[in-house]
Homo-oligomer: A and B are copies of this chain.
Amino acid sequence: MRLSTKGRYAVTAMLDLTLNGGDGPVTLAEISETQGISLSYLEQLFAGLRGKQLVRGVRGPGGGYYLARPADEISIADIICAVDEWVEFTRCSGNKDCHGGNKCLTHNLWDELSRDIYTFLSDISLADLVARGGEIQAKCKKEAEKAGAKTKAA
């Protein structure tokens, strides 16, 4: 498993898509504006997401992206693996060149952990995250209204 800022950008963009995808497709320009990610970088990320069948793009005016599957069928692990392509770590899978078993052992332990992390992230869907953040959403909206009434309504 691998987790970097690239994965963060992808998850953030997918969250934006989940939240705003209610009425028609969302353009990358909008996500770029809202989330502060460059348009071209978003395009790269979405190339990966599209390749893994997580999003679908429609071209032309009124176009944009929408989730290819319902939000509860897209896991965080799916998103991260789509953009941060999975690099296999262990080279000693076949037990060759094991230094008395110790090297192989630690590698296997890491693989075990790696699998655990993957499983953990596979059990969290976009819908889960949004649902879990319900109170955050309410609180955030309230404070945003309180802070500046001039901000454009969503």
30 residue pairs from A and B, CB less than 8 Å apart:
A3-B117, A4-B4, A5-B87, A11-B110, A11-B113, A15-B109, A16-B102, A19-B106, A20-B102, A33-B99, A34-B99, A36-B103, A76-B113, A98-B140, A98-B144, A98-B151, A99-B151, A100-B144, A100-B152, A100-B153, A101-B137, A101-B141, A102-B154, A104-B140, A105-B133, A108-B136, A109-B132, A112-B132, A116-B124, A117-B117
A residues contacting B by CB (< 8 A) are 1-5, 8, 11-12, 15-16, 19-20, 33-36, 76, 87, 89, 95-96, 98-110, 112-113, 116-117, 120-121, 124, 129-130, 132-133, 136-137, 140-141, 143-144, 147, 151-154
